[in-house]
Amino acid sequence: MNVAVTGASGFIGRRATGFLSSRGHFVRGISLRSAPTREQFTGCDAVVHLAGEPVAQRWTASARRRILESRVQGTRALINALRAHPPNVLVSASGIGYYGDRGDRTLTEQSPPANDFLGEVASVWEREAREAEKLGTRVICLRIGTVLGRGGGALQKMLLPFRLGVGGRLGPGTQWMSWIHLEDLCALIDFSLPESTLRGVLNAVSPHPVTNAEFTRALARALHRPAIFPAPAFALRLLFGQMSEILLGSQRAIPEAAVAAGFEFRYPEIGAALIQILS
């Protein structure tokens, strides 16, 4: 397939581009820093849309505006550029922030959205992406969990304190963390491209979510370090403001749709995933 990837220079985009190329696809990276043109997508069979302002920053008023507008306006501009030559499939990123803080409840693709900032962002992002259905394009929205991989993302930020022996759980540690190995995320994107019956929302998460305390213990074991210095919830709220919701919120999402479609995870267990990444 000829595949265009937006956000190709980001943590996920870099690996996705290489992964898709290794599977025999012809891949071109597309920047959305300026308005995309229809010529950029001429001849494309598929588009993978990963571009968006990072949410892992303090949510000032200006940051919230950038996070929302980059997804709404960026996706809208993308769909407009696709009108002349619609691709067969559009795989668009979203996030499990869609569900909000839901305690111990198991979350599938059918669970309702949260009435908060990230819930709003994910909802409007998916709505803009699904405008491509009006062009005859099959649309898949990936609600992506915490992505674990080498060279970036959330794990990179956690490594230093754990390697120094001062890591620990965040807040109570009972909050659920829905995660996915970067290789599995790339494989799920690749799986989605030719699978003509696959459409709508997919939770891009491991089938085995873990609590933050379980994740902390697994990371400490993988690094052969202790994990005895918890970060209190009040300190995280002082340090990160409202963005601390990402760290303290509980989302127990499962990939019901992907598993039903026959996708097989290479790294479903957190211990083995972390050992592979850190080896």
Q: What is the mean pLDDT of each run of 10 residues along the chain (279 residues)?
A: 95 96 96 87 96 90 94 95 96 97 97 95 97 98 96 86 86 95 98 94 98 94 87 78 82 97 97 95
CATH number 3.40.50.11820 given to 2-145+181-205+254-266: no
Query: For residue 36, how many other CB atoms are within 10 A of its CB?
Result: 22
pTM exceeding the 0.85 threshold for the entire prediction: yes
What is the tens place of the pLDDT at every residue in 245-256? 888 899 999 999
Position 126 scores a pLDDT of: 98
Which residues, in sequence order, are bridge partners of residue 142?
Answer: 93, 202
Sign of the C-alpha dihedral, residues 23, 270, 158, 255?
Answer: positive
d(CA 63, CA 271): 34
Position 158 scores a pLDDT of: 85
Position 91 scores a pLDDT of: 98
Q: Are 11 and 149 in contact (CB under 8 A)?
A: yes
Q: Domain segments of the chain: what residues?
A: 2-145+181-205+254-266
Position 193 scores a pLDDT of: 97
Sign of the C-alpha dihedral, residues 19, 23, 29, 32?
Answer: negative
Position 228 scores a pLDDT of: 80
d(CA 100, CA 115): 8
Position 141 scores a pLDDT of: 98
Q: What is the DSSP string of 185-225?
A: HHHHHHHHTT-TT--EEEEES-SS-EEHHHHHHHHHHHHT-
